[in-house]
Amino acid sequence: MKFGVVQFPGSNCDFDTFHVLRNVMKQDAVMLWHKDHDLKGVDCVVLPGGFSYGDYLRSGAIARFSPLMQEVKAFARGGGRVLGICNGFQILLELGLLPGAMLRNKNLKFLCRHVHIRVENEKTDFTRAAKKGQVLRIPIAHFDGNYYAPAGVLKDIERHRQVVFRYCDAGGTITEEANVNGSLAAIAGIRNREGNVLGLMPHPERASEALLGSEDGRTIFASLILSLEGRKPARRAAVRKKTGHD
């Protein structure tokens, strides 16, 4: 499968994500430049973490107007898979591809630490390799990760099972203490109603190699690969054949 990692001025997890996709998950991966209109025929777009455009105005607010994001929006509307990590999640919210908004962390601090998140819905394109209720240990690193949505919107999100991850303790229990940034309903990650777009605050690319303390992030990339392969079996065969000649 071919993944595209978007680079904005201020992206800083772009190469980590690219490395994990290419070297750990063994997928084809390319970089996508924010000023271009070209998605280079990728099967999945990943919006990496960082501080796009300095996060001026609001986190992710300026990135949404970049030329490439207009293509990403059309790609997502057409059913293309889009994964937004941290700042990427914030951009997806600002862009309106996901519901809600981010507020500053409840303690007003930049939080950089490992957290536990519980898989709330294992029947998504981004979690199908996970077990029901599985607890993943993945780091966060953000200032604005306090998820908010108006009451009516939250009700809608819950009804359509759009909450994919919630902050929890090591045993999988949702506690106020485990909800480090104060997110509404302890939400750490949501998908759109159609199911092809996911945003999450934790960084799976920082938890994909044992050397870095956790491999739990691989579950998300592995799920994504499974769903992409399931959708386009013909293409998978072509990729395999090509690899065979290398």
Partner 1 sequence: MKVRILVSFKDSVLDPQGQTVKNALHTMGYAAVKDVRQGKVFELDLEGATKKEAETLVPEIARRVLANPIIEKFDWEILKGRQGSSP
Supply the residues annotated as catalytic. Answer: 86, 203, 205
Q: Pick one of 14, 55, 71, 94: the residue that binds partner 1 (CB under 8 A).
A: 94
Q: Mark the segment that binds partner 1 (CB under 8 A) among 75-83, 98-106, 157-165, 193-201.
A: 98-106
| 61 counts as binding partner 1 under rule CB under 8 A | yes
Q: How big is the site for partner 1, counted in residues (CB under 8 A)?
A: 18
Helix/strand/coil (H, E, C) string of 87-110? HHHHHHHHHCCCCCEEECCCCCCC
Q: Which run of H or of E encompasses 230?
A: helix 218-231
Q: Pick one of 1, 44, 101, 157: the residue that binds partner 1 (CB under 8 A).
A: 101
| 143 counts as binding partner 1 under rule CB under 8 A | no
What is the rounded distance in angstroms from the CA atom of residue 47 to the CA atom of residue 58?
17
Q: 3-class DSSP state for residue 201?
A: coil
Q: Pick one of 26, 35, 58, 155: the residue that binds partner 1 (CB under 8 A).
A: 58
State the nearest-atom distance from the C-beta of 191 to partner 1, in Å.
18
Q: Pick one of 25, 44, 149, 163: the residue that binds partner 1 (CB under 8 A).
A: 149
User: What angle do helix axes 67-77 and 87-95 make, rounded to 10 degrees?
Assistant: 80
Closest CA to 179 of 160, 190, 191, 165: 165
Q: Which is nearer to partner 1, 100 or 204 (CB)?
A: 100
State the nearest-atom distance from the C-beta of 43 to partner 1, in Å.
31
- For the CA atoms of 98, 225, 140, 167, the dihedral, rounded to the nearest 10 degrees, stands at 70
The pair of three-digit structure tokens given for residue 43, joined into one six-digit string: 């099967």
| 131 counts as binding partner 1 under rule CB under 8 A | no
The pair of three-digit structure tokens given for residue 132, joined into one six-digit string: 């029901």
State the nearest-atom distance from the C-beta of 122 to partner 1, in Å.
28
Site for partner 1, rule CB under 8 A: 57-58, 61, 65, 94, 100-101, 103-108, 146, 148-150, 182
